[in-house]
């Protein structure tokens, strides 16, 4: 199983802790140490599972808006995007549990025209105000259909580290990775009002594969 590059530090710390706690459990608890070691082994395995990188065939897209993450669609509504677009748009929000793949992918193809990191709070990721008050990043892409699409990585109550690797001027390719969030979070995508929304609230998405909307050409 291929692991994400962001796994190195976390797995190193987890391995050291597992060895230390396991040694102490065997030394002091003898046969009863299994009551400690087995749950630790489950947690240790889940850490590897969290950082997995699935093998997915990413297609080329022009007007399609691709699910940027694995997760569950929790919001589709008209809102005012106040940071970059400063106009009414359709917001599609996808919540990621700690068991989802946490690779963040471009939802559209085009050119990166804006990026910014915002420190902030750590409200639960499904909280409506988390989009504007939590620690977050904002990226805007001018799509191949000449639309400006904004998307936002949002930290949650558990997620405390957001990584994004893109820069202004970079080529964005729908479905391809631009960042990563550790341990539970949310992605918001802000689309023009005339966008055809294909997904529904409650839908389970696979990042890089599922089409959630279609831009007007």
Residues that are catalytic: 185
44 phi-psi bin (left φ>0, alpha ψ -120 to 50, beta other) = alpha
In what helix (H) or strand (E) does residue 8 lie, and over which residues does it extend? helix 7-29
b/e sequence 26-51, b meaning 16+ C-beta within 10 Å: eeeeeeebeebbeeeeeebeebeebb
Give me the residues paired with residue 191 across strands.
90
b/e sequence 125-140, b meaning 16+ C-beta within 10 Å: beeeebbbebbbbbbb
**Dihedrals phi, psi of 49, to nearest 5 degrees:** -60, -40
d(CA 120, CA 118): 6
d(CA 56, CA 210): 11
d(CA 92, CA 77): 7
């Amino acid at each position: 199983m291929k692991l994400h590059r962001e796994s190195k530090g976390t797995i190193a710390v987890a391995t050291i802790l597992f060895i230390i706690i396991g040694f102490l459990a065997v030394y002091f608890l003898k046969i009863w140490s299994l009551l400690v070691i087995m749950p630790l082994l489950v947690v240790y395995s889940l850490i590897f599972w969290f950082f997995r990188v699935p093998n997915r065939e990413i297609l080329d897209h022009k007007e399609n808006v691709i699910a940027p993450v694995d997760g569950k669609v929790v919001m589709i509504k008209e809102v005012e995007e106040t940071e970059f677009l400063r106009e009414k748009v359709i917001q599609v929000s996808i919540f990621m549990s700690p068991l989802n793949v946490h690779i963040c992918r471009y939802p559209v193809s085009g050119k990166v025209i804006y990026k910014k990191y915002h420190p902030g709070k750590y409200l639960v990721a499904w909280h409506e105000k988390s989009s504007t008050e939590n620690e977050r990043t904002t990226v805007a892409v001018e799509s191949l259909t000449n639309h400006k699409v904004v998307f936002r990585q949002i930290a949650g109550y558990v997620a405390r580290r957001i990584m994004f690797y893109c820069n202004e001027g970079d080529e964005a390719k729908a479905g391809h990775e631009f960042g990563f969030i550790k341990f539970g979070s949310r992605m918001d995508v802000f689309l023009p009002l005339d966008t055809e929304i294909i997904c529904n609230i409650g839908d389970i998405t696979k990042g890089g594969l599922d089409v959630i909307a279609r831009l007007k050409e």
